[in-house]
Amino acid sequence: MHLNLKTQLFLSGLISLISLLLAVFLVLRGFIAATVILILVACVWIIALNIWFLKNVTDPLEMLTRTAEHIAEGSYGTRAEISTDNEIGDLGTQINEMSTKTAIAEKSRTEFISQISHELRTPLTAIEGWAETIAYDEAVQGDSLRGINIISKEAERLTGMVTELLEFARIQDGRFNLRVELIDIAAELEDALFTYGELLKQAGTTLNYTAPEQDIPLIPADAERLKQVFLNLLDNASKHGGEGGTIDVSLLSDNEKVTIICRDHGKGIPESELPHVKEKFYKGSSKNRGTGIGLAVSDEIVARHGGTLEISNAEGGGCMVTVTLPCNNGEIYG
């Protein structure tokens, strides 16, 4: 068993000090040759000490730092290789235990979310169905009808949240896959705009769409997943843009990528919150209700297409989301 680092460094320092004092003593006594030999031995000792320090301290610390970074990025269960039997080795062991326990806790949370989401879907479907049935009853009028419509609307909102939670669970446990085929991205975006456009109109929101100036070639993608992204972006823009606001959507393309830009004209996002808005369950200072995972799911979908989803504050006010997707048959993560 190795000595701990504190003892090793203390002994190394003590040996270096004794060597220095001995060299001074030999010089004062006139033993020049012995002094030179002692200095050479001391130099070799210092070089060997530095090599030992790099191998047993610096390199293991760099490895532990990389492991900790992977864990911080969400790679729970990642384990560090323990190569030293000292304080750094103990630190590595603790990091491994933390990573393992975090992975177990994350798996339990994902399984719980998946199970509770499945359990909620059945009663919510029943509530929606009965609410619609009662709403068509001519005997239900006035406040009763208004109440039934609220029940139906809230049940629909909860169903959307449950769907997002299920998508999150699929991402976490590796069941999130893409069905990639060549698609017309402009047609898919326009279909999403048409689907959501009526709701925006009812909310008093103006939707402006700038179509691409040239034809866009078919790109490899999962049409349903991308439509999910587009609807999520429009929903966020509608919520944060405020009633009576405006949403601008544009589609651009060059030989390498397709870019979709969605901008609202609301208050924007506080600068301190911008780096975190795509994190799972992060809601910031927003008072809008939701799960806080819609953007995280959208970001995952875009990333698995080999693209990027970037969020920023637009010049002149409002929030701007830029989705970039590759045009070529590049790497698609399924």
> Is 194's pLDDT higher than 90?
no
Average pLDDT over residues 122-137: 83
73 and 204 assigned to the same domain: no
Helix axes 87-135, 5-29, angle to 10 degrees: 150
Can you give the residue range of the structural domain that contains 199? 181-326
- Of 60, 62, 100, 101, give the one whose Cα is nearest residue 84: 60
Amino acid, res. 103? A
The encoded tokens of residue 294 equal 């819609």
Give 3-state DSSP helix, strand, coil % of the chain, rounded to 5. Answer: 60, 10, 30
Whole-angstrom distance, CA of residue 17 vs CA of residue 47: 16
pLDDT band at 282 (very low <50, low <70, confident <90, very high): low
Going by C-alpha positions, the residue among 252, 248, 239, 254 that lies closest to residue 314 is 248
User: Are 160 and 144 contained in the same domain?
Assistant: yes
Task: State whether 54 and 124 are in the same domain.
Answer: yes
Asked if the model's pLDDT at residue 261 lies above 70, the reply is yes
Instruction: Clarify whether residues 130 and 275 are in a common domain.
Output: no
Any domain includes 220: yes
Q: Between 39 and 1, whose confidence is greater?
A: 39
Task: Note the pLDDT of residue 241.
Answer: 67
Given a cut of 60, whether residue 199 has pLDDT beyond it is yes
Q: Same domain, yes or no, for 153 and 190? A: no
> Both 246 and 298 in a single domain?
yes
User: pLDDT for 50-69, tens place per residue?
Assistant: 787 777 778 888 888 888 88
Half-sphere exposure of 323 (CA within 13 A, CB side): 28
Within 8 A by CB and 6+ apart from 256, the residues are 326, 327, 328
Say if CB 42 and CB 16 are below 8 A apart: yes
What domain count does the chain have? 2
Beta bridge partners of 206: 246
